[in-house]
Amino acid sequence: MKKGLFITMEGPDGAGKSTQLHFIKSFLEEKGEKAIFTREPGGTPISEKIRKIILDKNNSDMVPMAEALLYAAARAQLVSQVIKPALERGKIVVCDRFVDSSIVYQGYGRGLGESVNVINDYAVAGCIPDITFLMKLAPDLGKSRIKTENKDRIESENSDFHENVYRGYIELEKRYPDRIVTIDAKGTIEEVSREIGAQLERILKNRNDFQ
């Protein structure tokens, strides 16, 4: 049986992750790979309920630590119910955001720092992505791509918050050069897809060579 492959997709708000996730889906389908696609926060009935609480704009008094713990709680459920079992069956799992989002949004954005790593060590219980695509886009560009009326509680944060998130991603990129594959998200949809496609070709080839 093939070894499971865990791919995550990261990036600041407005970087175009969703569009490129559609591309990844059709790319893998064309290759005959039956991948499992999921998202954070969410992906299980319990985690989707937690998502509603976290992103609800009425919860403006939520303290940063409660927010970090809720993301981690949703994650623990998703890892245990969906991600781990699929990887054990040799599947490819593609997840829209994962621990890196907590490190940058709660750790850097909210200023919770290292505590976020500690909480999440418990939440993921050793389940770490093999590859993370980081859609890199400066915060001012990302901001201009999201419609104001559609913003959730996190997206509605001020520009200092989003600057810190971006800084966090740059730090992670330096810390995990083997796992994080940076994609320049400034280009057109087709240009970005082409870059991701080339990287996926390489990743799938490596996987097949090592079976």
Residue closest to ligand TYD, measured at CB: 105
Q: By C-beta, is 70 or 87 nearer to ligand TYD? A: 70
* Least Å from the CB of residue 75 to ligand TYD: 7
Residue type, 36: I
Q: By C-beta, is 120 or 193 nearer to ligand TYD? A: 120
> What ranges in the chain are assigned the alpha helix state H?
17-30, 45-55, 64-78, 84-88, 99-102, 115-124, 139-145, 159-175, 189-209
Q: By C-beta, is 28 or 76 nearer to ligand TYD? A: 76
Cα distance between residue 139 and residue 40, in whole Å: 21
Q: Sign (positive/negative) of CA torsion 86, 88, 94, 99?
A: positive
Residues 6+ away with beta carbon under 8 Å from 74: 40, 41, 42, 43, 46, 47, 50, 51, 54
Contact footprint for ligand TYD (CB under 6 A) = 13, 17-18, 39-41, 55, 71, 96-97, 101-102, 105-106, 152, 154-155
* Least Å from the CB of residue 205 to ligand TYD: 28
Q: By C-beta, is 13 or 195 nearer to ligand TYD? A: 13
* Least Å from the CB of residue 45 to ligand TYD: 17
